[in-house]
């Protein structure tokens, strides 16, 4: 007998019919002899409605009150879910974040989990209850209700799985797993059987929207086996797990595309220690989120610094750069809008040579012009023209056979 | 500087416009130099919607989960209310029942308040906050969310006023005060300036729906001045308070009507101690709510016992009576449907004579046939034919000048 945490997102519990379908998945697991903890999000558009209600009364609602308000959506789901399980003849009990002492810091709307009263849950599981926990929420040390930010229910589920030492954390969603790339762009994308935390983190930060990075980080830290799967079909989905030897053989696991990007280049910045730090802390102060940084020395005295950002931060970034460029001795600022970043991700990069060449070869063959390149240990990213982005992604996918399951690719 | 508790019902906070109107009342009080605690109910039909959602999943929802579900409606209101006050430039903070440790027993859906963490609220008032508390809810010793049953937000408000030693507890509602009788039946009904707790309790139990009996009981126990007033008009409403000498001069304060009643009579019950107790504990076991009891000795051996009940309990009551009548030596059971009870209420009855005569005289003059009569220290009730009920109420109202304010009546 094991413990399984099952997380259902808002679309999977949007109405009575969908709650009953989710119940069925829970009941199957219980009937198979396992203890089950359910984490659920607010039903369908409930959170959107509450947000709209709030903005109608206050264009700048205080974060504490917003958390207090939004936390109710998840509480409604889990109490209704418990009622449905009871109606089916199963013992069930629902808890708010506060009731299981999901203690967080006080950073409202993006709080971080500090501890969970796992004993309270274990006690109820031992008494034969299915335990339901409202996702997305916690309380701080003073008893204020907090929320965990985007993807918060995923984080709740993975954190609970870690605290309970669960065998698996299942994330039920409207896709049937994680694909090598976005199937809306590259139709032949293959479903992955398995992906490492690090790869998933790179893909999450690069815009693959299936799971939020923070939940994956939690999973990595506490080694929680995360199973992303369909709430409708019964097929197996994708397992996010620690790195296993067979992953080494997979050169590239996935590819991503990020559109609506811009690049800002500072040409001829004084080449002295601390200048880059000064620039980026200034940008952080202006709340600009930096994607990638490319720095090259021109000579002993001057360097060029470029960085990519989302288009939504463009105006703030330009303003921030203009106000600091003289201090950095910068000769000229050069901006470029309408770019995209295409990336290949894989832990196999660590042990394989020639990946970059294969990628550039494919892009060049597809006549895609590469503006700049950045790499991490398990990622290569190319900045390209936005109107060439999809062609670029396709070329990368074909070059690394991302249209095939990993075990069917040529070695 | 004093403390005022202001309670807004569901219709008074049904939408953004109404919440803003309620805010205005709160702001006026703060600007006048008082500390304000707001208690609010769920917005408009939110609770009804949640109840419907629950029954869609479970025709017999477990009470604990129902409380967990329904408590969210009030939390939404108070967080939105706090946001609106912040938008107007006032410091505001909302609390759930759990956050202010509104500790109750564990009797879900009709829990009773045991204690409140008034210090927590005082601390926030002292820091200049308007404190908002979700009505209708508490938590038990184990941290389960409970609700207080019908009229629960009134009870929350009065209990808070008691715990905080507030100067006044204002109940904002869709009527502008408490009337001598139901103005829908007797159009000339006069608004009362003042009513004693005991009179209000009699009127509440007799069906005057403005305030729930439990809240009034709480007010009486802790001597909380309750002000029932309109959420729309700024006029003064009705004060519910302890008995003051001037109330003695008012012979009858109000009159009520209860329709859809039935009467069950047990003829020729053995006249021995304990028989009545046996009957009524048997009826209590069948969950029949007894209104009034009339018992008369026929001779040393036999007595007649009658009682009135709501029509909804009629079948259960008849069944219960049939199953115990032989044991009581009852000769015959006689039932009467389609009756109503008309009552006159007033603490002045204690010190005035001839009230009953005046009432019967008025009923007789109006050609109303009186089936039976019961009295308490401050109440006289007559059972009449349902189709004569409104005529009876009118006759009683005119006899006691309930169409005039108390100070304009003849002595």
Q: What is the mean pLDDT of residues A150-162?
A: 93
pLDDT value at B351 more than 90 = no
Q: What is the mean pLDDT of residues A19-36?
A: 97
- Report pLDDT digits (tens) over A250-309: 889 999 999 999 999 999 999 888 888 899 999 999 989 898 888 888 888 999 999 999
Best residue in B83, B84, B95, B142 to probe A by mutation, most A CBs within 10 Å? B83
Confidence (pLDDT) at A355: 87
Quick check: B68 and A145 CB within 8 A?
Answer: no
Q: How far is CA B331 from the centre of its chain?
A: 38
- Report pLDDT digits (tens) over A132-144: 999 999 999 999 9
pTM of the full structure: 0.86
Interface of A with B (CB under 8 A): 16, 19-20, 50, 53-54, 56-62, 64-66, 68-69, 71-73, 75-76, 78-80, 82-84, 86-87, 92-94, 96, 98-99, 143-145
Is-contact A151 A214, C-beta < 8 A? yes
Cα(B196)–Cα(B346) distance, integer angstroms:
9
- Report pLDDT digits (tens) over B283-294: 999 989 898 898
Cα(B75)–Cα(A257) distance, integer angstroms:
41
Share of chain B above pLDDT 90, in %: 78
Cα(A222)–Cα(A216) distance, integer angstroms:
10
Partner-chain residue, chosen from B57, B80, B144, that has the shortest CB–CB distance to A80: B57
Quick check: B87 and A59 CB within 8 A?
Answer: yes
Cα(A301)–Cα(A280) distance, integer angstroms:
20
Spell out the domains of chain A, with CATH numbers in brackets: 3-242 (3.40.1160.10), 254-401 (3.30.2130.10)
Is-contact B175 B98, C-beta < 8 A? no
- Report pLDDT digits (tens) over B270-309: 988 888 889 999 999 998 989 889 888 888 899 999 999 9
Q: Which residues of A touch B86 (CB under 8 A)?
A: 58, 61-62, 65
Interface of B with A (CB under 8 A): 16, 19-20, 50, 53-54, 56-62, 64-66, 68-69, 71-73, 75-76, 78-80, 82-84, 86-87, 92-94, 96, 98-99, 143-145
Q: What is the mean pLDDT of residues A181-205?
A: 90
Confidence (pLDDT) at A208: 60
A119-145 as b/e: b if 16+ CB within 10 A:
ebbbebbeeebbbbbbbbbbbbeeebb
Number of other CB atoms surrounding residue B123 within 10 Å: 12
Confidence (pLDDT) at A5: 98
Quick check: A80 and B19 CB within 8 A?
Answer: no
Share of chain A above pLDDT 70, in %: 99
Which residue does chain B place closest to A47, by CA atoms? B76
Least-confidence region, from B41-45, B250-254, B390-394: B250-254
- Report pLDDT digits (tens) over B67-116: 999 999 999 999 999 999 999 999 999 999 999 999 999 999 999 999 99
Confidence (pLDDT) at B181: 92
Which residues, at least 6 apart from A387, have a Cβ–Cβ distance to it below 8 Å?
A338
Is-contact A144 A111, C-beta < 8 A? no
Cα(B195)–Cα(B203) distance, integer angstroms:
10
Cα(A57)–Cα(B21) distance, integer angstroms:
12
Q: What is the CA radius of gyration of chain B?
A: 23
Quick check: B65 and A72 CB within 8 A?
Answer: no
pLDDT value at B411 more than 80 = no
- Report pLDDT digits (tens) over B210-268: 788 889 999 999 999 999 999 888 899 999 999 888 887 888 999 999 999 999 999 99
pLDDT value at B348 more than 90 = no
Q: Highest mean pLDDT range out of A88-92, A240-244, A356-360, B407-411?
A: A88-92
Q: What is the mean pLDDT of residues B146-154?
A: 91
Positive or negative, the CA dihedral B177, B178, B180, B182 is positive
- Report pLDDT digits (tens) over B55-68: 999 999 999 999 99
Quick check: A80 and B71 CB within 8 A?
Answer: no
């Amino acid at each position: 007998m094991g413990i399984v945490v099952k997380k259902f997102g808002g679309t999977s519990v949007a109405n009575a019919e969908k709650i009953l379908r989710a119940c069925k998945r829970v009941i199957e697991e219980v009937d198979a002899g396992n203890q089950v903890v359910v984490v659920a999000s607010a039903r369908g558009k409930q959170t959107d409605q509450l947000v709209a209600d709030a903005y109608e009364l206050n264009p700048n609602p205080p974060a504490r009150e917003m958390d207090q308000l939004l936390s109710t959506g998840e509480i409604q789901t889990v109490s209704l879910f418990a009622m449905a399980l009871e109606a089916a003849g199963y013992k069930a009990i629902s808890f708010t974040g506060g009731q299981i002492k999901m203690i967080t810091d006080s950073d409202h709307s993006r709080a971080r989990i500090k501890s969970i009263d796992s004993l309270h849950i274990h006690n109820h599981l031992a008494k034969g209850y299915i335990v339901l926990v409202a996702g997305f929420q916690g309380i701080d040390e003073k008893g204020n209700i907090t929320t965990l930010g985007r993807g918060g229910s995923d984080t709740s589920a993975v954190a609970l799985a870690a605290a309970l030492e669960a065998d698996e954390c299942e994330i039920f969603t409207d896709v049937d797993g994680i694909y090598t790339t976005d199937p809306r762009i590259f139709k032949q994308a293959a479903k992955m059987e398995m992906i490492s935390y690090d790869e998933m983190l790179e893909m999450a930060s690069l815009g693959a929207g299936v799971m939020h990075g923070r939940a994956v980080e939690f999973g990595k830290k506490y080694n929680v086996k995360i199973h992303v799967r369909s709430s409708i079909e019964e097929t197996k989905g994708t397992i996010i797990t620690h790195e296993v030897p067979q992953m080494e053989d997979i050169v590239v696991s996935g590819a991503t595309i990020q559109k609506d990007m811009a690049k800002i280049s500072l040409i001829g910045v004084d080449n002295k220690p601390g200048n880059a730090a000064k620039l980026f802390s200034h940008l952080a102060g202006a709340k600009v989120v930096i994607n990638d940084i490319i720095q090259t020395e021109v000579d002993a005295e001057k360097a060029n610094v470029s960085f990519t950002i989302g288009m939504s931060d463009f105006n703030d970034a330009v303003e921030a750069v203009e106000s600091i460029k003289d201090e950095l001795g910068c000769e000229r600022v050069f901006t470029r809008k309408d770019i995209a970043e295409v990336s290949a991700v894989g832990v196999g990069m660590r042990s394989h040579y020639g990946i970059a060449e294969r990628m550039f070869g494919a892009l060049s063959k597809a006549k895609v012009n590469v503006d700049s390149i950045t790499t991490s240990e398990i990622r290569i990213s190319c900045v390209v023209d936005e109107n060439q982005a999809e062609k670029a992604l396709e070329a990368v996918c074909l070059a690394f056979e991302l249209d095939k399951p990993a075990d069917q690719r040529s070695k």
